[in-house]
Every structure is written in structure tokens, then in C-alpha cells.
A and B are shown apart, each in its own frame.
Chain A
Amino acid sequence: MIYREAGQFFTSYAQDRQLLPLRQDRIGMAVMLLVAAVAVPYLASDYWLSAILIPWLILALVALGQNILMGYAGQLSLGSAGFMAVGAFACYNLILRVPGIPFLGAVALSGLCAAAVGIVFGLPSLRIRGLYLAVATLASQFFIVWALDKFGWFKNYDTSGVVTAQHIVILGHRFSAPWEKYLVILGIVAALTLAAKNMARGSTGRAWMAVRDMDVAAEAMGLSLLRTKLQAFAISSFYCGVGGALFAFAYLQTVEPSAFNIELSFRILFMVIIGGIGTILGCFLGAGFILLMPVFLNTLFHAFLGKAIDSSVASALEQVIFGVLIIVFLIVEPLGLARLWQLTKERLRLWPFQH
């Protein structure tokens, strides 16, 4: 009864195209953003901000990049962590070697570096598809991490083994408290999410999906397969690169290749699958799910067994549960949590009626 669209009519195509056509949605989004920007930093504990919310936003951003490549452009990728690494190291080196570079500028440039690398490793996609492309992305993952590790220049020849990320300084103010970092990340992620949504709904997204669904017809329509695929790789890698830079600077506080290993790539993949492939909301839902699952498991064990479980057992159990969930989701709801949410909303529209 509340969530009805009766009475809301559109009189122009522009209105029809709005991001949030229903008034209820607009109010809901405004409230959510308000809460996120004001209430959360004020009320949430440092632990929640540093260990949950910040990585959630960052990983959702990377999942967004992965989703652009997999969901919209239909190119299977197992190398997202590699591009994150490029972003992280680019940011570190930019801040190190370019005196006075603004942080946000460095982050943007890091994204561009990752985009450039993405284009190079995306070139094979013109000839290869499906499973074969997945293996090609593995090549990028392993090679990038190896290169960043082997060539000391990237780490500024640091021999201590742990490279510390510099501080986040914007307009002279150092953003070091968790809530400050949270706000910076919230701003970046919100802006990039909006950009992604716009692209997905516009001519860019249509071009991607056309090439994904029927490349022969897309070509016959005048779309350049080369440009479209490489564009998808570039934009996707940009998002992963920015995510990687933020991951290193706002979460880990260190810049090391080993943090961006194949396991992270798999986790990102899982976020996209469980969250909902080809949806923006899915990235956030999936990231939240994957992040919170270990916390949830631990709490469960505490409650049932009264004691903490051995960490190796915990991680093995986590592995099994993630694997099972992937399979279950692929069988039961391949469109993921986002689709479940959509079905709920549709029920709400009809509530209290059945149909």
C-alpha cells in the first residue's frame, strides 16, 4: 500500500528515464545517503568502521569493476586482484615521486594506470572467449603480482618487506581517523557507483551488452568489437585500480603484492555471483555478504560451542560454505541476492494483495 506507483505519471522521456522514477525510491535513497554520510560516522564504532564498513565499500567498488566486465560485457575474469595491485602500487609511487600531488588526483591516475594495463591484458579477448579468456585473465593475475614483487623499483627498493602506505592528505587535512577515511571512501564510491549506473543504462552499457549477447549482430550494426571490449576492460580495470589504491591506503595501510593474490580474485568473483551478476546493487550485497560471513560464522560457533574454533578449521569451514553457497545460488537464483531483493520489492508493491 505504501510502495505503490499509482498516481505517478511521466510526461516526458526524460522523466521516464530517471534513475529513481518512484517517489518512494527517491525518498528511500535520500534517507539512506543521509544515514550513511551523517549518522554512521557519528554512531559507528571504530571497529565497525575500520574492519567492516570501509572494506565493504572498497570491495563493493572492485566488485563493480568486475561486474562491468563480467555482467555487462560478458567477459569472464579471474584477475581483478591483479588490477587492484596495479592501482595500489601506482598510487604509492605517485605520492612518493610526485611531490605535492593531491591524493584524489593520485587515486584517479592510479585508476588510469590500471586501465592501461587492463587494455593490454584485454587484447586477447578479441580472439578468445569464455573459458579460454578466464585462463588468460589468470595470466594477468600471476604476471602482475610477480612483476610488482620482483622489480624493486615498485617498492622503492624497500628491504624491510613491509611497505607502509602514506597518509591520506586532502587539501592539507590529514584523514587518519576511521570516520574520516570512511567519508572519503564513501564519497569516492558513491560518485563512481553513480557513474557506473549511468553508463550501464546508457549507450555505453547497450554497446557492452550487444557485444556480449550477439557480437555478429553488434558488428553488423556498426559497433566496433575491438573498441567496445577494450573499453569494458579499461573501465573495469579503472574501478579495480581505484579500489586497490583505496584498499592499500585506507584499509591495509600497507602496499604489498601478496595481499592481491588469486584468493582475493576468487572472493571478488564470489561477491559478484552471490550478489547478482549484471546489477549494481548486487556488488554491495555480495561484498557485504562475503565480508560478514566469517563474522557471522564465528558468532554462531561461539553461541553453539561456547568457545572459539581453531582458525584453520574456521577458514576451512568458511571455504566449504562459500563454495556451497556459490553452487546453490547458481542453481536456485543465478541472478543472486539482487534478484531476491527485486522479488521482495515486487511483493511490496502488491502488498497487502497477493497479485
Chain B
Amino acid sequence: MSTVASLSSPQRAFPIGAPILELNSISLRFGGVKALTDISFNVLEHEVRAIIGPNGAGKSSMLNVINGVYVPQEGSIAFRGERLTGVGMTPTRAAHLGIARTFQNIALYRGMSVLDNIMAGRNLRMHASFLEVALQLPRARREESEHREKAEEIIEFLEIEHIRKTPVKRLPYGLQKRVELGRALAAEPKILLLDEPMAGMNIEEKQDMCRFILDVNDHYGTTVVLIEHDMGVVMDLSDRVVVLDYGKKIGDGPPDEVRANPDVINAYLGVAH
């Protein structure tokens, strides 16, 4: 099932480049449970990379490792060729490196409006101290207006102008997911990690979401890593796919290649291991 015009246009505004993210021999355990075993793959700059696999394969864990929420027991991450040493990746470091993400179970700030959530996403670029904000000194006022403009750009891009002042907890699920995307985009990230961005959406919502993701990749050159279950979406959106099963990598390559891979087919059809 094709949900979106295929990505076969030869002219990309941002041609796929060198590896921006490299994961080497990542192993992650929770007590006795092995979530990830010796996973290695890379993400090329400006590409759309999908991570797929049956439930419980470790996809979310993989994403959490990438942005530092989980610390792997073994393995390393390299960003733009430089291996991250010391404490490795932490969520804050990831944010500073330009990695933004959405979460599987929507992690919006429920007490705030759509606009405030997106403005919150700009926080790394707002430097006024609390004192300047309290006294409304020029820098604070200027930053607020400047970043409001940028937030409005995103709101316009995602077509959510009509709900910008609505508290997010009042929004339907699909719109919440869109707002979460907006918050991630607000950080102007180099890498966008999307954890099942289309879960629970109907056809129209999925089409909209696909359009947004493609536009982001096309207009801003943002590298996208997404976890997704809908095969049609994966085949249409992504440049390359990683397949996980029981915490191990069983496939890595362009969508067509992966689709024909017998191991992948077995995993999805549930052949006994």
C-alpha cells in the first residue's frame, strides 16, 4: 500500500552524505534481559532511516540509546566521525549535538498550550537568564518575539494555527502527535528521532504525517531516524532500513533489499528460532 508519492525523484535538495551517526557493537541489558545484542549500523546525513522489527525487538531501546536515555553496557556511539567518550551520550548532550526526538507515548507538557510546548522546544537557543525574564529586560523581550516567530513558522508548516493556544491535554491523539513533532522541530535538529510517529492514526492523518516528515527532510535536510510498523510507510519514506529481532540486527539496507531478505520474512511470519 502506497501512501505517498514515491521518493524516486532524482533531485534531492540535500544529497545523502557521510555518516552522521555510527553505532558500534551496542549491547544493552536490563538485569538478565538482553534488550540489544551487538548492534552496529550507521545513519547517513540527510537520509531517512527506518528501524523496524516485531514487537519487543528493541527498537525503542535503540532510540533511547541514541539519545542517551539508556546507557549501553557495551559499544560506542560516534557523532560525525568522532567517538563519544567519557560518560558517553546523555539526553542533554544529545540535545546539544542537535538530536531531537518524539516519544512512543506522547511526552508533551500537558499543562501548557501548543504554542508554549513548541516555544519550550526553543529553549537551547534562548539565553536570557531568569532575572532578565523577571524584569523583562530587552534581551528577554527580544528573544521571546524572535523565537515566537520561529515557532509560528513551525505551526504554519504543521497546519495547527487554529489550536495554538489550546492546552495540549485537550487535543485529540493525532494532533498531539503533530504538536510533539513540532516541539522536536523547534530545536532545528540535525537528527530527528521519531518513535512510532504514526501509531494510532487513520489514513488521512498518516498521509499528513508522511508529508510533514518528507518536507522536513527535503526542506531542511534533517536526518530522520524513525521507528514504524506500517510497512507501506516504511517502504515509501525511507532510504535505508534496519531490521531488529530479539535485540539483534537481522537486516540492513534499502527497503526493497530488506523486504526480500528471508530472515526478515521469517521474523515477521514468526518461524521458530
Instruction: Kindly supply a per-residue 1/0 record for chain A positions 207-237, scoring 1 wherever the CB is within 8 Å of any chain B CB and 0 otherwise.
Output: 1011011101111111110000001000100
Whether A353 is near chain B, meaning CB under 8 Å from some CB there, is no
Q: Which of A161-169, A170-178, A196-204 contacts B (4 or more CB under 8 A)?
A: A196-204
Q: Which of B69, B109, B133 contacts A214 (CB 8 A)?
A: B109
Residue of A nearest to B187 (CB): A221
A14 within 8 A of B: yes
Q: Is the CB of A220 within 8 A of B133?
A: no
Q: Does A26 touch B at the CB level, under 8 Å? A: no
Q: How far is the CB of A258 from chain B (nearest CB, A)?
A: 33
B120 touches A206 (CB 8 A): yes
A206-B119, A209-B112, A214-B107 given; A219·B91 CB < 8 A? yes
* Cβ–Cβ contact A221 & B100, under 8 A: yes
Q: Are B123 and A207 neighbours in the complex by a CB distance under 8 Å?
A: yes
Interface string of B115-136 (1 = CB under 8 A from A): 0100111011010101001111
A244 contacts chain B at the CB level, 8 A cutoff: no
Q: Mark B135-177, 1 if CB is under 8 A from A, else 0.
A: 1100011011100110010000000000000000000000000
B69 adjacent to A220 (CB under 8 Å)? yes
| Interface: B232 (CB within 8 A) | no
The verdict on A195 contacting chain B, using a C-beta distance below 8 Å, is yes
B94 to chain A, nearest CB (A): 7
Q: B111 touching A213 by the CB < 8 A rule?
A: yes
Contacts of A196 in B (CB 8 A): 134
Task: Check B178 for interface membership: any CB of A closer than 8 A.
Answer: no
| A221-B120 in contact (CB<8A) | yes
Q: B95 to A222, Cβ gap below 8 A?
A: yes
Interface size on A, residues (CB 8 A): 30
Docked CA distance A224–B95 (Å):
11
- Mask, B197-210, CB within 8 Å of A = 1, is 00000000000000
Quick check: B130 and A220 within 8 Å, CB to CB?
Answer: no
- Report whether A203 and B144 are in contact in the complex, using a CB–CB cutoff of 8 Å: yes
Residues B149 and A204 in contact, CB atoms below 8 Å apart: no
Bound state CA distance, A278 and B183, in angstroms? 23
B213 to chain A: which residues have CB within 8 Å? none
Bound-state Cα–Cα, A202 to B251, Å: 47
Residue count of chain B within 8 Å CB distance of chain A: 39
Which A residues are in CB contact (< 8 Å) with B96?
222
Set of chain A residues within 8 Å of B112, measured between Cβ atoms? 206, 209-210, 213
Whether a CB of chain B sits under 8 angstroms from the CB of A13 is yes
Q: A17: CB under 8 A from chain B?
A: yes
Q: Cβ of B60 < 8 Å from any Cβ of A?
A: no
Interface centre among A13, A210, A221 (most CB of B within 10 A): A221
Q: Which residue of B lies closest to A222 (CB)?
A: B95
Contact with B134, one of A204, A213, A224 (Cβ below 8 angstroms)? A204
Residues of B within 8 A of A278 (CB): 111
Instruction: Assess the B187–A222 pair: CB atoms within 8 A.
Output: yes
User: Does B92 interact with chain A (Cβ within 8 Å)?
Assistant: yes
B246 at the interface (CB under 8 A from A): no
B107 touching A17, Cβ below 8 Å: no
Q: Quick one: which of A195, A198, A206, A212 contacts B116, CB cutoff 8 A? A: A206
B103 proximal to A (CB < 8 A): yes
B133–A203 contact, CB under 8 A?
yes
- Do B128 and A203 have beta carbons less than 8 Å apart? yes
Contact B109 A210 (CB under 8 A): yes
Report yes or no: B123 in contact with A13, Cβ–Cβ below 8 A: no
Contacts of A14 in B (CB 8 A): 141, 145
| Residue in B94, B108, B126 whose beta carbon sits within 8 Å of that of A203 in the complex | B126
A-B contact pairs, 21 of them (CB 8 A): A13-B144, A14-B145, A202-B128, A206-B112, A206-B116, A207-B123, A209-B109, A209-B111, A210-B120, A212-B109, A213-B110, A213-B112, A217-B109, A218-B120, A220-B94, A220-B101, A221-B187, A222-B92, A222-B96, A223-B92, A231-B130
Q: A17-B144, A203-B123, A220-B95 are in contact. List 7 more A-B contacts (CB 8 A).
A: A198-B133, A203-B119, A204-B130, A206-B116, A209-B116, A210-B120, A221-B124
List the 6 closest pairs (A to B, CB-CB), nearest first: A222-B95, A217-B107, A202-B133, A195-B134, A219-B91, A213-B109
